[in-house]
Amino acid sequence: MDNETTVPYFLLLEFSKDRHLQLLHFYLFFILYLATATANLLIISVVAFDHRLRRPMYFFLMNLAVQDLGIVSVIVPKSMINSLMDTRRISYFGCIAQVFIFVCFEASDLSLLTVMAYDRYVAICNPLHYEMVMNWKACNKIVILVWVTSLIYGMLHTTGSFSTPFCSNAINQFFCEIPQLLKLSCSGVSLTELVVILASVTATLGCFIFITASYIMICKAVLRIPSVKGRQKTFSTCLPHLIVFSMFLVPACLAYLRPPSNTPTYLDFALTALYSLLPPLFNPIIYSIRNKNIKFVLSKLWRF
């Protein structure tokens, strides 16, 4: 599309021209989506309907499950449909909607993981003040703030990404990913998007420092626990959060900070899959495996 400044649609990454491989991609993504949706819906249902899980930690976990379900729902079905229908198209406005919703959910995911680190810090380091600090009024305000700021961030990021004309419409990724879109811009990164990117880097770095500092304080508090069983129980509560956070943040930083290549590579796809597809699948699994309360409620549901 040489010398064109507007595009009516975008072309997403084509995994293969072979029909059998296209159907294989469809089935693999279908299984992945079904497993992710089922796991997250189970977490949402368990926390929402069991009164024994009416605690801040599980309230945040339920919101995390909602966000993870949203992330896969906005990118995976479109890729599945394209493979099934043997097409690569996504409309211009469909791409805008995909970027906006995906960025909102990803931003709220990072914010909520940071909040969950603070929740664990208060619970372990200041247990006597936990009920006062993390009361239900405070928790509701925190979650509302997370959603509102994520919506604003998504609007700014989407506006910055689509404020410049595009010289090509071929996106080297299976969904409308911002680094790949910015590569198609005729005039480079807009001032709005540059400001948003700098704000994103600052906010992400701030979240990383906050979470790291929280867990350093938690480790110090845990090491002072005289009981070996008590230390193991506390570490088992915190370890899943560290795994989830690392699984999300490290690949995302590599995917966004790494200069996008002119041709699709396995590394680009792997990094994107690591931060966009795997955390929503593994988050509910990790939390449910390590949490005896959730396992108990799930076992009761299974018996019914």
What is residue 234's predicted lDDT score, i.e. its pLDDT? 63
- Backbone φ, ψ for residue 185 (5° rounding): -65, 140
Domains contained in the chain, CATH given = 9-303 (1.20.1070.10)
Q: How many CA atoms lie within 13 A of 66 on its CB side?
A: 17
pTM: 0.89
Residue 94 and residue 194: Cα distance in Å, rounded?
Answer: 23
For residue 84, is it left (φ>0), alpha (ψ between -120 and 50) or beta? alpha
For residues 62 and 50, the answer to whether their CB atoms sit within 8 Å is no
Residue 204 and residue 250: Cα distance in Å, rounded?
Answer: 11
Burial class (CB in 10 A: 0-12, 13-18, 19+), 211: buried
Residue 186 and residue 26: Cα distance in Å, rounded?
Answer: 33
Of the chain, the end-to-end C-alpha distance in Å amounts to 58
What is residue 80's predicted lDDT score, i.e. its pLDDT? 94
Residue 187 and residue 50: Cα distance in Å, rounded?
Answer: 54
Point out which residues pair with 89 in neighbouring strands: 11
Q: One digit per residue, pLDDT tens: the chain, 304 residues?
A: 444 446 789 999 888 888 899 999 999 999 999 999 999 998 998 888 888 788 888 899 999 999 999 999 999 999 999 999 989 999 999 999 999 999 999 999 999 989 988 998 898 888 888 989 999 999 999 999 999 999 999 998 898 889 888 888 999 889 999 888 888 888 777 777 778 888 888 888 888 889 888 888 888 887 777 766 666 666 666 677 777 778 788 888 887 777 766 666 778 888 888 889 988 998 888 877 667 777 777 777 666 5
Q: What is the DSSP string of 202-261?
A: HHHHHHHHHHHHHHHHHHHHHHT-S-HHHHHHHHHHHHHHHHHHHHHHHHHHHHHHSPPP
Q: pLDDT tens for residues 234-248? A: 666 667 777 777 878
What is residue 226's predicted lDDT score, i.e. its pLDDT? 73
Q: pLDDT tens for residues 143-170? A: 999 999 999 999 988 988 898 888 889 9
Ranges assigned E (strand) in 59-155: 89-91
For residues 181 and 99, the answer to whether their CB atoms sit within 8 Å is yes
What is residue 1's predicted lDDT score, i.e. its pLDDT? 44
